[in-house]
Amino acid sequence: MFKSAVSFCLASSFLASSLSLCSHLPVNAKDDQKMAAPMPSDKGTQASGNAPLSKGVAGETHQTSDNKLPTMTTQQGVPISDDQNSLKAGPNGPVLMEDFVLRNKIFHFDHERIPERVVHARGFGAHGYFENYKSLSDITKADLFQRPGEKTPVFVRFSTVAGNKGSVDLPRDVRGFATKFYTKEGNWDLVGNNIPVFFIQDGMKFPDLVHAAKDEPDSGFPQAATAHDNFWDFISLTPESMHMIMWAMSDRGIPRSFRFMEGFGVHTFRMVNAEGKSVFVKFHWKPKQGLQSVVWNEAVKINGADADFHRRDLWNAIKNGDFPEWELGLQIFDEATAKSFDFDVLDPTKIIPEEVVPVKIVGKMVLNRTVDNFFAETEQVAFCTQNIVPGVDFSDDPLLQARNFSYLDTQLKRLGSPNFTQLPINAPKCPVMNFEQDGHMAFTNPKGRANYEPNSWGGPRENPNTGFKSHPQVMSGPKMRIRPESFADHYSQARQFYKSQTEIEQKHIQDALTFELSKVQKPSIRERVVAHLMNIDEQLAAQVGANLGMDKIPAALPSAKPVKDLPASAKLSIVKNGPSSFNGRKIGVLVSEGVDAALLSSIKAAAEKEGTTVEVVAATIGGVTASDGSHVAADHKYGGGPSVLFDSVVVLVAPDKVDSLSKEPAVKDFINDAYAHLKFVGCNDAGSSLLDKVGVKPDSDEGMISFKSGTDSNRFIEACRKLRLWDRELKQKS
């Protein structure tokens, strides 16, 4: 679980001018150049699209230009006459070595893949902007925070941590939340997670943590999962991880959507104003649509139904104009305040509760554009914690210092050249001027004779007035490999987090720990973890131990410092910080032939007013005929659109279809899963009969809503704003 150039920059300007010389832009470089080229049939008949098929010499088939589409070329810009057949010595002869078109095409294909990220390999990104609310010149000289209303372009990449690129979207895992700000004074990368703390305190342990969390080296599994001996062995021997374990085992580890999760900078940073005065800050992203998770059984089934669930959700939301928004908040405090805490603000396993230092909202981020090409943007984007701008600076957090070293090294390994900063997705959108030159894939080099400084010929010069300056922090002390004593309390904040959860959220943490530890084969590892839990909450430890079948709950492990009872913090609960509307969510409506057209229309109208999407699930993807004779298009077929894909469901069926549908396995799963996953379920009279036949009582609780008239649609939407009927799970468990 885990886890440049004027205008767009000189690099992109140079690249654009170079490309124009031979007009060999990729077909996806501009909207008017996008083309879908259908493959020719075996018989050479015309295929769909603009380019017809024709037969050339020896009867080969290929697409011919209709003068409306650009001519295909090699990477050298040479026009291609035939992209379907290699050059041969006669119809059945061997392929000739001189076929440079084939050679170039296969050569490029063979080298398409680049090394995936060691962690955060599976990611998804989008473009947008950050809008500053008001001037923050009193605390920072960072340009993007100076002028109210100014918008700064951003690119955000969300990710899972432990799995590879081909893993699923909804494992129990930390989510990466990395934001690249293209400011007027260079790129600033805020590289964070959806959890504000981390497993370890010192970067020296990062390779060990990742090795332990990833698939085991002998078997190569499990993939994108930490329910195995190696991970929990490491955790059981690393008490500093216990706070992070509470977060990861909570519902934070299985978010409903990237759009409905918080983001955190994790570390303590500095902000410095124009006078050189420094304050400490912690960064928070607050989703404007509220927090939301899924339940574990639902997550497992989502991964089977749609492994790209989170990626598709973000893509569709942006394409539908439902642009995700977060507000940026800062916890701001000075040196004196930092020293007053009974923990160390440089310890990345600790938070500052919002009740102690409130979060000041300073701006908002809107994601409003999907990528044009996944590889060029999402895969090649390079984030580095060291990328900061004047007005932002580092703290002495030892994990942050190690990350500053690690990320740059990672980009060189993945992207193969120190010139990765010249790739368009990484290139600053401000002037870039220096004497760095050459290297693999250099798009720009210094012009003129001067490639050094100082020189007599001109060129860029350093600027002591506007250039980046590190905060002149006084440092002293002997060289030592040691952990600060102020980092030694490993359990108090873990206890605070657990105590801050609602009853149902605590139950989920218990269940998650039980599941993970049940996959651990070595009893001593399970016992050590439960012994750690005794320092957090004895009832938690006892419940997990009982669930694991332990005859005796082990005694608490020795704690370096006494465990404190800290006050609960409401901001640590997802349930207590949910949305106030059903905006941005999705309703699945299961229908049959003869569905009540007026009722379906009223549901769609109420949902549209709320900003909620409605998708229809029918017997076939071809849809159904409604009661008024109109055609109702389907978005999914039974079994292809299970209820796990939706935030709430409605069952609208005709009376004469109840018996047959009650025997349909996919329909039964749709209804039973929706109920088991605590969703609000609406139904017409026939739908109530269907629910009853498949074993769900239509009037069992307030989450089951019967539609008698069109006005009930509004009542259903109002109920759905709660997202889940948590009382249903508590009753099921009792």
pTM of the predicted model, to two decimals?
0.89
Question: Mean pLDDT, to the nearest integer, of 352-369?
Answer: 98
Lowest mean pLDDT across 73-77, 184-188, 654-658: 73-77
DSSP-derived letter for residue 593 is: T
Question: Mean pLDDT, to the nearest integer, of 83-90?
Answer: 92
Question: Mean pLDDT, to the nearest integer, of 318-341?
Answer: 97
Cis amide linkage into residue 472, ω under 30° from 0 = no
With a CB cutoff of 8 Å and minimum separation 6, the contacts of 417 are 439, 440, 441, 442
* Predicted local distance difference test score (pLDDT) of residue 734: 56
CA angle in degrees (0–180, nearest 5) for 211-212-215? 75
* Predicted local distance difference test score (pLDDT) of residue 476: 86
Residue 107 has pLDDT above 90, yes or no: no
Do 162 and 116 touch, CB atoms closer than 8 A? no
Between residues 458 and 264, which one has the greater pLDDT?
264
What are the beta bridge partners of residue 280?
Answer: 270, 333
Q: How far, CA to CA in Å, does 423 sit from each of 262, 297, 508?
A: 29, 41, 44
Confidence label for 51 from pLDDT (cuts 50, 70 and 90): very low
Residue 150 has pLDDT above 60, yes or no: yes
Residue 6 has pLDDT above 50, yes or no: no
* Predicted local distance difference test score (pLDDT) of residue 733: 65
Confidence label for 187 from pLDDT (cuts 50, 70 and 90): very high
Residue 710 has pLDDT above 90, yes or no: no
Q: What is the pLDDT of residues 533-586, one digit of tens each?
A: 999 999 999 999 999 999 999 999 999 999 999 999 999 999 999 899 999 999
- Rounded distance, CA 203 to CA 490, Å? 17
* Predicted local distance difference test score (pLDDT) of residue 61: 53
Q: What is the pLDDT of residues 637-675, one digit of tens each?
A: 999 999 999 999 999 999 999 999 999 999 999 999 999
Mean pLDDT of the chain, nearest integer: 90
Q: What is the pLDDT of residues 194-240, one digit of tens each?
A: 999 999 999 999 999 999 999 999 999 999 999 999 999 999 999 99
* Predicted local distance difference test score (pLDDT) of residue 554: 97
Between residues 729 and 28, which one has the greater pLDDT?
729
Q: How far, CA to CA in Å, does 10 sit from each of 187, 210, 377?
A: 15, 38, 18
With a CB cutoff of 8 Å and minimum separation 6, the contacts of 164 are 116, 121, 122, 223, 224
Residue 26 has pLDDT above 50, yes or no: no
Based on the residue annotation, tell me whether 211 is a catalytic residue of this protein. Answer: no
Closest to 502 in 3D by CA, of 350, 231, 726: 726
Q: Which of 120, 127, 310, 677 is catalytic?
A: 120
With a CB cutoff of 8 Å and minimum separation 6, the contacts of 391 are 140, 141, 142, 143, 145, 271, 272, 273
- Rounded distance, CA 372 to CA 375, Å? 9
Domains, the chain, ordered by start: 36-69+71-110 (4.10.91.20), 124-218+248-411 (2.40.180.10), 584-733 (3.40.50.880)
* Predicted local distance difference test score (pLDDT) of residue 27: 36
CA angle in degrees (0–180, nearest 5) for 168-511-177? 40
Residue 469 has pLDDT above 80, yes or no: yes
Residue 144 phi/psi, 5° resolution?
A: -70, -15
In angstroms and rounded to an integer, the radius of gyration of the C-alpha atoms of the chain is 29
Residue 42 has pLDDT above 90, yes or no: no
Based on the residue annotation, tell me whether 62 is a catalytic residue of this protein. Answer: no
The Cβ-side half-sphere exposure at 152, using a 13 Å CA radius, reads: 28
Structure tokens given for 482: 């040691």
Q: Which of 132, 187, 193, 387 is catalytic?
A: 193
Task: Print burial letters for 35-70: b (CB count within 10 Å at least 16), e (below 16).
Answer: eeeeebeeeeeeeeeebebeeeeeeebbbeeeeebe
